[in-house]
Amino acid sequence: MRDASGALWKLAHTKTPIGLVIYSDYAQRNELLTELELLAPSGIQVLRATSLDEVLPQPNALVLLTPPDEGATVLELDGRREQFLDRQVPLLLFLLRGGEGLRVLAEAPGLASWLNGSEVEPERLQNIDVDAETQAFLGRTGKSPDAWLAAYEAGELPETFENILLTHRARLLGGGP
């Protein structure tokens, strides 16, 4: 199973100019925005934006773009792709699953091909077989999710990126609060 947090981290740390995050509802979008702010590369400014005009002057910021009119923004982005080639940190475009933005993206093959491989749909990545994943977690760490969380919270495990992701996974598997 691919891990949603790991996929988001990878997307936030990539050198691609534009990435895509597909969300299922506004509550999930807000959770993803917060998570990406936490996963941003160290020392990088994170900017929440609603229009491309806010984004252009910020090539060195991780931009989380949540446009009110997703379809119009996809068309505008498709026509202005070349203006984003020099970005040092990605612009992450949020589009609602089943929404107008994704429908328009299907009709914008240039932008769609540019985004190919740079999209994350966390909800699909989180659909897991809990029993199988718990066994895989135990095999990987030697601890159940509950035991892992207890050890992590007691400071027995170093605070590395991998351990933070494993802690998140332990919580997803139902370990701890």
Q: What is the DSSP letter of 89?
A: S
* Residues 75, 95: Cα–Cα separation, whole Å: 13
- 48-63 pLDDT tens trace: 999 999 988 888 999 9
Q: What was the pLDDT predicted at 1?
A: 32
Residue position matching structure tokens 């068309």: 75
* Residues 53, 63: Cα–Cα separation, whole Å: 12
Mean of all residue pLDDT scores within the chain: 85
Residues 92 and 119: beta-carbon distance below 8 Å: no
Which tokens is 86 given?
Answer: 């020099």
Residues 6+ apart with CB under 8 A from 174: 130, 134, 145
Q: What was the pLDDT predicted at 69?
A: 97
Helix (H) or strand (E) holding 120: strand 119-120
CATH of 4-125, one of 3.40.50.10860, 3.80.30.20, 3.40.50.300, 1.20.1740.10: 3.40.50.300
The residues of the chain scoring below 70 in pLDDT are: 1-3, 123-129, 161, 168, 172, 174-177
* Residues 109, 135: Cα–Cα separation, whole Å: 41
Region of 46 (left: φ > 0; alpha: ψ -120 to 50; beta: rest) is beta
Q: What was the pLDDT predicted at 57?
A: 86
Q: What was the pLDDT predicted at 172?
A: 67
* Residues 92, 67: Cα–Cα separation, whole Å: 11
* Residues 10, 98: Cα–Cα separation, whole Å: 24
Give backbone dihedrals phi and psi of 18, rounded to 5 degrees, phi first.
-135, 135
Which tokens is 110 given?
Answer: 């240039």
- Residues of the chain above pLDDT 70, percent: 90
Domain boundaries in the chain?
4-125, 128-172
DSSP 25-56: SHHHHHHHHHHHHHHSPTT--EEEESSHHHHT
Q: What was the pLDDT predicted at 100?
A: 94
Amino acid (one-letter) located at 152: Y
